[in-house]
Amino acid sequence: MVELFFQIQVWAAAAIGLILLCFGLAKRKPSLISIGGLAIIQLGLLVQLVFSIILVAGGSRAKGDTVEFFAYIIVALIVPIGAAFWALIERTRWSTYVLGVGGLTVAIMLARMHQIWFG
């Protein structure tokens, strides 16, 4: 169940990141849709954080290092916030690329978190 959620999250973040890079290529400025894409990723990360806290409180541990797992999730939570702020401050197509890079970064971090949790 948790594993399936992880998989969906990784692929969703990667897909959103790629779509936003395409938006950038199409010279679109950041919009409610593109920033919304990152909001979806952020929501997924928050659900993941709550899930993980409940699991760890219930006695589960990562196959790797649990502390490292939480370090990743906290840093990952900063990425969409930073990218979204950037897009709000600078409303050019380059910010759309920044949003895309942010999405892909979270996807990579989630893949690494999956590795740490499941071994």
Which spans of this chain sit near other proteins (rule: CB under 8 A)?
A: 65, 67-68, 71-72, 74-75, 78-79, 82-83, 86, 90, 92-95, 97-98, 101-102, 105
Contact, 41 vs 80, CB < 8 A?
yes
Report the Cα 90 to chain-centroid distance in Å. 21
If you count them, how many residues does the chain have? 119
Q: Smallest gap, in angstroms, from Cβ of residue 4 to other proteins?
A: 26
Complex with other proteins: residue 43 or 67, whichever CB lies closer: 67
Nearer to other proteins, 8 or 78 (CB): 78
Q: 46 or 67: whose CB is closer to other proteins?
A: 67
Q: Where are the alpha helices (DSSP H) in the chain?
A: 2-25, 32-57, 66-89, 93-118
CB of 86 to other proteins, least distance (A): 7
Q: Which two tokens stand for residue 79?
A: 């990425």
